[in-house]
Structure formats: structure tokens, C-alpha cells
Structure 1
Amino acid sequence: MKEKQQPEENMQRKVLPISMDAGFFFERAVSSLDRRHYDKALKYFRKAVEFEPNNPVNHCNMAGILSEMGNYEDSNAALAVVLEEIDPSMTECYFYMANNYANMDMFEEAEEALITYLEQDSNGQFLLEAEEMMDLLQYELDRPTQIKSIKVMEGVVEHDKARELLEEGKFTQAVKLLEDIVEKKPDFMAARNNLALGYYYLGLFPKALDTIHEVLEAEPGNLHGLCNLAILYQHAGELARLSELAVRLSKIVPFHQEHLFKLATTMGILGQHGAAYGHFKRLLQNEDMKYDPSLSHYAAVAAYNTGNYEAANSLWHQVKRLDPDGELADFYIHRLELINAGAEPYPISYQYHLPFEEQFKQWGSGIDGIPAEIRENPMVRSSFFWALRHGDSKTKLQVIQAFGLIADLEVEEALKDFLLEPEEDPYLKDAALFVLRSLGVNKPLPVCWGETTTIVDPSRVASKLPIWKSEWQEVVDLAMKQMKRSCDLSQQLDLETLWAEFLTLLYPNTPAITHIEGWAAALEYLIAKMHRRSVTYETIAERYGISASTVRRYASRIDEVCGVKEKMKNIFPSVQ
């Protein structure tokens, strides 16, 4: 008896279709690369080129594999296709070609390609390597290389200084310098990319976006520009554009360490933690980078955010070994212990410092200053600038207080700019003026109050009085001196406000201020009560070297005029 044959159409229904596009072959190529199967990787990259012949990344990847396999002539042919047919702005291809020619002992051709790279490239990605190759070629050709100019070196000294300023967190100074460089040298793409970062760190997002678009109009394949654009899209909520760009970035596997790090951090910021983890792990395989504690932390964060707590724990213990004096590893290891005990996990950032709120908890209000290693950390400073523009009122007040502790020219500029923001809370502007005064700023400054801009002297307490007597200021100064180590910025600012209110309500019949200690002590006592701090007339009196009855008398006088206790009852009904 004949066996029944299954209908062909039924068999076809059981076959699962595979989407064999460029992305499919790209992923296969990367997988083969990780296993060092270069012949398979080449095969898959060739297929990716067939599916996307106008994508220069595919051609460059194929050229890189060919070079690794010693097939330098075919590698240069692939690079020539990029330069002649797809994207002539990818000047780094000339450097790759020079490498290939040198490996074939074709030194004159290598020199020609290298000169073209140096004269046309505006990024300087391989500048150091190009200088080393130039030394080799001079030796082999027994003559100096005839080069007219190195394009990227135009303005390079100033650009290096600007990068240093960015790394130090001095974003305002860096932006001013970078703006000048870009104005003088519009095709300096590295400077434009860093200018966009400077705007971003300062919270100036429209300017950052415009600058990134300028980069990508000139160089559509610029990786730094693409990464920066993705971060800006995320900030602006441009989800459709972000999704499309994220797919493009996910297909890139840079060979250069700087590009790999940029892409890794970008994917982490975008929430593509699996991709970020893979890139960070590749970086940690590099002998020069595996001892960097911050890199191990970034990889740990990526692992944590994917739910791979075991890998995160191992990496944070590595951070602890590399940075035994730091608090960061212990903080996150403890967080993992809490999660294992049943606590709810939540995403964490990639910055190599404690979370913003945790830092304020540790610094407290009665400290002499922020630790130098924190104060000089550019990412901490960036988080301050970010929070000053985009945080809630409480956070902004904390940042203004922190700026008073950092006390450098950068924060002075930031506070002055803050005074010109028309929609910011007047109370916060008073706080900014208070901090500027504490930093020694005594020149009149413009302050925008809604639709009106006035000139304010930060050296005197804010008030509407036509005069401000020296003895009135002495009361404030003495109280501030006593309160400085135990009270935060809001309490100090409230003290000034209460004193100005008292004098304003009585003006011009203000009392003669002869007992400086009595008035200062009374102000401190009332502010302590307003902020629900436990205090007595006796403890305050002892600190000022006066009697408790004197403190009570002056406090009663201020309360009589300003109605402090009545205000406290409305805010805190339990206060009597």
C-alpha cells in the first residue's frame, strides 16, 4: 500500500520565514567577529553590502576585515568605493588606505593617501597615528613628507583647551571658547560636536540641537554627531525619530576605542542597556582600559539595568578593588543586597558618582564645602547645571546652595545667567543673589522679574528701602556667622527676608539699632522656630553672650511688627 504524501502546501505552512536583510547579516558578522572567525565575518559583511550597497558603514566594515586578513588590495578597493561613489566626506578612509599601502610596502602611495587624509580631515580621529606613520614613511623614503597643512591642527590648541574645560566641568568657559573656534573655522566638526555638548550640559537644548544638525549636514555619518542627536531626541521626546536613529546606531561596531566608548555611553543613556553592556565589555577586554574603575562601573550599571545582578555585583566588586577609597561601589553593592532581600529595583544612571540626592544627604547643610574630588568632577557639575535649569524648586534651591560651596567663576556665571531667566521663582533669585553676595560679587547685576528687568546690588540685603544702614547689615552679618554651620540656605535667606520686612514695615520710624547681638539673636531664634528646629531663648542667648530675657524682648518686638507666630500657626497649626 502506498503511503499518503503530505500536501506540499501544508509542508510550506510549517516553514518559518527568516528576514534576511542587511541587519541580519550584520549581526551574523559581528557574532563571527567576537569568535574571531574572520572568514565568516567577511562573508556576512559582503552580504550586508549586497543588501545595502549605499551604506558606507558596511563597506568600511568589510574593508576592515579584509585588512585584518592581510588582503590589503581588496580592502583599499572597498574604501575607494566609499570615497568615490557613496560618501566622499569620510576622510578617515584615506588613513585606512595609507595603512594598507604601507603594509604592502607601497610607501609613496601610502604617503599620498596620508597627506590627503591630513589635508582634508577635520576631525583628527587618527592624528597621532598619522604622525607615527609619517615618521615611518620619512624613514622608508629617506626624505621629509611634503605636506602643506594639517587641516585639523587649525585651532587645535584652542580646541584642546576647550576640551580640558569641558572635562573640568567649566562649561560656560568652554562654550565661549568653542563658539570662537567655530566662528573662525566653520568646518572644525570636532569643535562643533563639543560645542553641542557644552550647550547640552548647560541645559541649552535648542542651541545644542541646532549645532548637531550643522555637524550632520556637513558629515551625515559623523558618529559623535549621531550619538549627540539621539540624546537630544530623547530629551525632546521625539520618539519616532529616536527609534529610527537607535536602530541605525545599533548596527555600528566601531573599531576605534573612543568611538566605541561614545557609542556605549550613548546606548546606555538611551536605555539600550543590553547593547551598552556589550560595548562596555568589549572595552574592558582592552589591556589599557580594564583597570579603569569608571569603565567597570559603567558596565556594572548596564548589567544592573538589564537585570543581570550577578554580573553587576562582580563588576562593582572590581570597582571597589580598583578604587578602594571611593564610596560608589559600596553604595551600589548595598543596593543589590537590598534587592536580594526583596526591595524594589529601579533604574540607575551611568555617572561615576553617587546619585544627586544622595550627595546632598551626605554633604548636609552644616559643612565647610563640597569635597574636592566631588567639586571637580565634571559630571557632578553637569548635573548641577542641569538641575538648576530643569529641576523642581527644592532641587534648584539645593543647587544654588551647592554653588555657594563650590565658589568658583563658573558658578558665578551660572547664577548670573539664572537671574535673567524671566520665569524663575523670585524667591530662588533672591537665593542666587544671596549666594553671589557670599562669593564676594558686589557689582550691580541685571535681574529679570517677569517682564521687568531691574539692576540689583547684590552686596546689600534685598529690600525696597531707599537706604540700607551699616548697623542693619551688621545684624545680618552676625546672625549669618552664628548660623552658617547649622542652617541651610533657605533658613539664612528667610532671616534676611524677615529682617528686611521688619525694617520696611517700620520705615522711616525704624528703631535705633545699637544692640547688634540682641537683634541678631532674636532673628536666629525666630527663624529656628519657623523651620521647626528645637531651640530655647537660653541656648541662643548663650551663643551671643547675652541674657535670655534680651533675646525674648527683641524677638517679641520683631513678632509684634511682622506677625511671625501668626504666620507659623497658619503654616504649622500645632505651633504655639
Structure 2
Amino acid sequence: MGKNQSVKKDRGQVISFSESVQFFYEKGMKAYRRHDLKQAIKYLQRAAHSQQEPFILSQLAAALSDAGDYHQSNQILTDIIKLDPEMEECYYFLANNYAYLGLFQQARKYAEHYLEVTEEEEFVEDALELLDMITIEEGDVENEWEGEDELIVMQERANSCIRNGQHQEAVSILETMIAEYPEFWSAYNNLAVAKFQIGKIDEALQLTDDILNKNPGNLHALCNQVVFLYSIGQYKEATILVNALENVHPILFEQRFKLGTMFATVGRYELGYKWLKSLKRQGYEGDVSFYYWLSYSAYMVGETHTAQKMWQHVVELYPDKEGKEPWNYTDFSAVDQHTFLQQLTLSFEEERDDEKKMLALYLINELQTEDKLPVFFDIAEKQEHHSIIVDMGRYFFLKGSNKRIPKELSRLEKCLQIADCLYGHTKKDDALIEDTLTLWFQVVKGLYSSTVSVSNVLGWSAAIEYTVRRRQNVMMTQTEVGKMYSISPATLRKYVQAIAEQGV
């Protein structure tokens, strides 16, 4: 090894670093200071791997916490305490992380322990403020689980799995939690999210129904149900719930964040911005999703300066997001509805390929005008088209007329939910919209009368987008596309193969 270097800790202790450790440590800290958290974590992990020095580990834990990986940060902080019990500030950092996770009992325990043992008193004022905040926040928290350390650890593990895309593992953990703690509602909510993300839409919706039957008014369940319904295209059902939630005024930061992101997700940008902006004003520092939705909703209500400023937080956490602002897409609602209806109707009549006719019908249904209903009625009455096109005309007419959808159209409804999912994911790119929907309608035509399952909305959608991007020579990996749809690479491969088997 080369000549040793040294860095001073605040309390004056000198630590010896080898040149290689010093190199990675300094690279990590430079990245940290410029808020490039990915690079900071990468280099600090290299430095910590070479030398298990508590001071380096504490910087790594701080970077992980800033990146929103509170679970990993807590594991490192616990290791530091074992290595150096005198680093009492770690108890305060643990308390802070647990507070962000919403685990207020654990946060209180560590904050109080820090106040008992600290000699340096560097974070005493912060710890006292944290305790005051916890007192306010934990009013509606499930206090009956106080002292259930195993439950808290299991919940952290499940949340970490969901964040890292390990949804099957999360499902297994959460199902175990529910079996042991049948009234721990947050586990049910997380299980519903995990189920939805692996494509088990009906099970996810059933879980939210079960929660609300047993625990009426559960805000997380209501917000999840809205997002689920909206994601699969059941906009009218989602709107009824959204309207009811407009008058809800929660106290907990976590519930405000949930409400704000839900409103922004379903296009109620003013309400989303209201809640997310209020959190920012009160000092809330969330993960990348907080800044994403705050930025997006700010832009959509005309606060472009705030939007750009908040988007920089996203770029700082994920530098590859620079220039990829979510508001850069074509908004069809800005097009003259009558003119667009005429163009799409003409396109439907002139197209020879059934999948292109299906695309035209789908886009007609996206228009916000009742003039589209006679078009659908005429198609449903005429038997000259492929049966699936007749069924689409009938389905869209019944849906637009608020009439009951008969059971024989339920398979088509599932297929159209996948189209809705693709439309929602690709609407920022006109070429991608057309190509993904066209390919999907080709697949639908081939499997419509088969017994092949179309229940996994996210699996089919991700596979369609992945296939189209490959054909467009956009080299995205299956892992990257899987993350966009919150499914595993294995699930994506399964449905890519299913598309290939259709020969389209």
C-alpha cells in the first residue's frame, strides 16, 4: 500500500487512510457536495469496502438517507454503533430515518436514546424538534404495534423489496405479516401495491376493498384504489373517489404526500401541487418521487420556475433524467375535438388493416366529445368488419352511454385496459403511442378467441413497449423497461416470448 493519508473528524480524532481509500473517499465526498448521490454512494461504498472505518460508513449512511434508501442507511448506522459505540450521533440519524419511514415509535426510541447518551450535543436541538414533530405526527399511527420490533423490521424489508423491484419477495413477506397481524393495515396496503405491480390487478383491487370494509376511511387504501382504477382505464370509477377525497385534510406528512401524489397522478394538478408544495414549505425532504410529482404538478399549474427548480432535485439524484421532463409530450386535449374526430373517422374508413382500424377506434374514444357515440353505434350495428372491431364499437358505445358492459365483452375490456396502460406510459412520444398500440392490437387480434390470459396488464404492456423499442433500434434492456412498469425481467421475458409466439 502507498503512503497513508489522514482526515480529521469533528471531535479532533485523526484517522489513517490508505491512498486508495483516500482516493475513493474524496471522490465520493466531491460527488456528495455537488448532490450527485449515485456517484457519491458508488465511491463511498468502494472506500468503505476497503476500510471499515466508522467515519466513512457514516458518510455513506448519510448519502443513502439523502437518496431515500433509509433501510440500507439504518443497517449501516447500526453497524457503526457496533464498531464505535462513542459515535452517539448515529442514534439521532437512526431516529431521523425512522421518522421518514413513518415508523414513529422507533424514531422516538432512538431520539430519546440519543438525548440520554450524547456528550457532544451537536444534534440536541434537532432531536428535540424531531420529538415534537413525532408527537404531532403519530396521532393517527397504529399505536397498538408499539414494541413489535419484528413487525417493524419485516415492514422495512418489504418496503425495501418494493422499492428495488423485488415484488414477489415483498408479497411473501407481507402475506406473512398479515397472517400474524391481521389488523396491520399498512401491510395490506403495501401488499396491494406489490400485487398491482406484478400484474395481479383484480387481487390488488380486492385487497383495497377488504381494507376499506374492515377499516373504513383508510386514506392509503383509498388513494391506492384511485391509482389502480385510473391506471387500468376505469376513469369514471376513479373520479368518484377523487371527488370524495378533495375535502380530506390529513395531518400526517406521509398521508399528505400520498394524497398529493395521487392527485397529481390522476391529473388533478392543482390539488396535487397544493399538498406537495405545503410539505416542501414545512421542510419535508422526500425521495425522488416527491420531487418528480412536485415538479410535474407545478409545471401543469403554470409554476414553471418552481417546476424547473424541483426537477433539478430529480436530476441531482438521477443525472440521466436531465432533459427528460415529464411535461414534454403532445396533449391531444388541445386539438380541436370535432376536426380530430373527422380525421380519425376517415382514417378508420380508409384503413385496410384491422389493427389500424382498432387504433383509430381507440383514439376516437380518447376524445372528449359525445359526437363519437354515433360512430361507435354505426360500427356495432354493421357486421361487415372483423368481430373484434364490431365488439370494440359496441363496447365503446355502451361505456360512453353509461350502460352495463355484458360479460361476453369482459375479455375485450381486459385487452383495452392494456391499451390504456400503454397509452398512459407512452403519451409523451407520438410515434411510440402509434407503434405500441398498433402492435398490441395485432396481438389482440391473434389471441382474442384463444384462452391465453390477458390479466397481467403491466406484463403485456411492458413487453409490447420493449418489442417496439427494439424494432425502433432504441436499445433499452429488459431490466430498464421492466423498472418503468415495475415488473421483473423474468416476467417481461415471459410476455416478450408470448408476443413472439403470435408471429406479429
TM-score (normalised: structure 2): 0.42
Structure whose alpha-carbon radius of gyration is higher: 1
TM-score (normalised: structure 1): 0.37
